Amino acid sequence: MKVIIEKFDGDDPKLVERVVSALGPVLPEIDLEVKAKARSVTKGRGADVSNFDGILCPARATGITGYFCAHRQWDGFDNKGLRIRPEKLPHIEYLALLETKRDPHTQGPRGKGAVVVYAPVIGHEEIARNRYRFKVGEPVFLDQPIPAGGVWVRNRRYIPLAKLLNANTLAELF
């Protein structure tokens, strides 16, 4: 039996040792291979607020045309609001949407797709504690959508808009 472990930069360095020691007695004839990933695609909590001016959110195609463009606002695909720390609100000037594919198992957003539209933020309202609805200006559809490039976006991400617009894929941002 062959077991492949994909290790990200930010993972626990003792992870491989724990897996081998746990599987060793159970599977004595195991062929173990460790693949190191170049980097982790998640930034974690407390991202530096000085290096972003926008938010990237996953969205279904129907939400982009039927809600974002028609009503000029966004509060997430579940309409419960985007969870944002209040100290980060003054830094958010743009909102970009990643059009997602549907997950065939859950029928929910899968997180892969392409960034197709962005708009300037002109205001926000708190609809629950630390959950906000953003009012946006005129949406700008990208001539060339920016593909996810292997990055999964399941929740909002803080981004610098200039860097996003110059990227070939989202993998270059994260």
What are the pLDDT digits (tens) for 138-168? 999 998 889 888 787 888 899 999 999 999 9
Q: Are the CB atoms for 60 and 99 separated by under 8 Å?
A: yes
Model confidence pLDDT, tens digit, residues 84-99: 988 999 999 999 999 8
Q: What pLDDT is stored for residue 93 in this prediction?
A: 94
Q: What pLDDT is stored for residue 80 in this prediction?
A: 85
Model confidence pLDDT, tens digit, residues 19-55: 667 666 666 666 656 555 544 344 444 444 458 999 9
DSSP of 64-106: IIIIIIHHSEE--TTSS-EE--GGGGGG--EEEEEEEEEPTTT
Please name which of 143, 168, 170 lies closest in space to residue 157, comparing C-alpha atoms: 170
Question: Domain extents for the chain?
Answer: 2-36, 49-172
For the domain made up of 49-172, the CATH class stated in words is alpha beta
Which two tokens mark 48?
A: 């530096």
pTM: 0.66
Neighbouring C-beta atoms of residue 30, cutoff 10 Å? 13
Percent share of the chain, pLDDT over 70 = 64
| Rounded distance between C-alpha atoms, residue 67 and residue 77, angstroms | 10
Side-chain-facing half-sphere of 3: CA atoms under 13 Å: 14
Q: Are the CB atoms for 147 and 171 separated by under 8 Å?
A: no
